[in-house]
Amino acid sequence: MFNELDTVVLAHDLKEHKLSRGDVGTVVHCYAGGKAYEVEFVTGEGKTVAVLTLEQADIRPMQGMEILHVRELAAA
């Protein structure tokens, strides 16, 4: 279960939103009982790429020994 403002990692590609497995987002809202989460994904400049309602299976917590990686956002 996640809390608001937790950093999470996308578990699979969401090509329709230009997101890839491993992209990092922030939980901005938790729905009752942890059934779903509103997660925001942003660029390095802070521009919002997507705010999506995702289920727990779609995201996972950031692990202590993981390192962040930068990639270019795909064109629309």
| CATH number assigned to the domain comprising residue 51 | 2.30.30
Structural domain containing residue 56: 7-61
Has residue 27 been placed in a domain?
Answer: yes
Spatial contact of 12 and 26, defined as CB atoms under 8 Å apart: no
Structure tokens at 28: 């901005």
* Mean pLDDT, all residues of the chain: 94
Task: Please indicate, yes or no, if residue 68 is contained in any of the structural domains.
Answer: no
Of residues 31, 23, 18, the one with CA closest to residue 7? 23
**Beta strand segments in the chain, E:** 7-10, 24-30, 37-42, 48-54, 59-61
pLDDT at 25 over 80: yes
Per-residue pLDDT band at 74 (split at 50, 70, 90): confident
Q: What is the per-residue pLDDT for 32?
A: 87
Tokens representing 24 are 């990092």
Confidence of residue 52 (pLDDT cuts 50, 70, 90): very high
Q: What is the spatial distance between Cα 59 and Cα 37, in angstroms, rounded to a whole number?
A: 9
Q: How many domains does the chain have?
A: 1
- Residue 33's φ and ψ, nearest 5 degrees, are 70, 10
Residue 22 lies in a domain: yes
